[in-house]
Structure 1
Amino acid sequence: MRVLACMILTIAAVFTVASARAQTYDPNYPVCLQTYATGGGYIDCSFTSLAQCAATASGRSAQCLNNPYFALGGRKPRQHGVY
C-alpha cells in the first residue's frame, strides 16, 4: 500500500512540474519582429508601428508582422451600427 501511494505521488509530481514556456507574443504591442538565424531565430513584440519595426529589421534577416494577440492596448473595440 505504501509503494502504491509513493508511486501515485511521484506520478502526480512529474505531471505537475511541467516546463513552462515563455510567452512569445506580448499582447501590449501591435507589431512584432521575427528574425531568422541558423541556430534559431526569435520573435520580439515591442514595436508600436510597422515603420518602427521596419527600421529595426532593415539589413537583417527579419520581417515585421502584426501581433495576432494584440489586446488593443486596453481599449475597447469600436462597435459599428450600434446606437
Structure 2
Amino acid sequence: MRILAFATLAIGTVSIAPAAAQTYNPAYPVCLHVYTRGANYYECRYTSLPQCNMSASGRAAQCVINPYFGSTPVPAGRRYRHVY
C-alpha cells in the first residue's frame, strides 16, 4: 500500500508543473531576443553585437547583452601593473 501511495505522489509531483528551460546560455556574451506570435525566445550564440544585428536584420528581433555571461577567468601567475 505504501508503494502505491509513493508512486501516486511521485507521478502527481512530476506532472504538476513542467520545468522551464534555461533562457540564457552563459557561454556567449550577446543574445538575440526573438518576438513571435506564440512565444518569445532567446538565442544566445553570438560573440558580438554586430554579428547579432546581422542575424536580427529583417526579423522581429532585438540584440541584448547576456546578463549571465561567464567571462573568461584571469590567468593565474604574474600580476601586471597598470601604467597610466
Q: TM-score, normalised by structure 2?
A: 0.70
Identity within the alignment, %: 47
Tell whether 2:73 aligns with 1:47. Answer: no
Give the 5 Å matches for 1:1-83: 2=1, 5=2, 6-16=4-14, 19-72=18-71, 74-76=72-74
How many residue pairs match? The answer is: 72
Per mean C-alpha deviation after superposition, the further-off stretch among 6-15 and 52-61 is 6-15
- 4+ runs deviating over 6 angstroms: none
- Give the drift of 1:16: 4.9
- TM-score of the two chains, using structure 1 as the length reference: 0.71
| Separation in structure 1 between the aligned mates of residue 24 and residue 67 of structure 2, nearest angstrom | 8
Change (3 A) 1:39 1:13: closer
CA distance in 1, matches of 2:68, 2:39: 22
What CA distance in whole angstroms lies between the structure 1 residues aligned with 2:59 and 2:14? 40
- Structure 1: state its 5+ residue gaps: 77-83
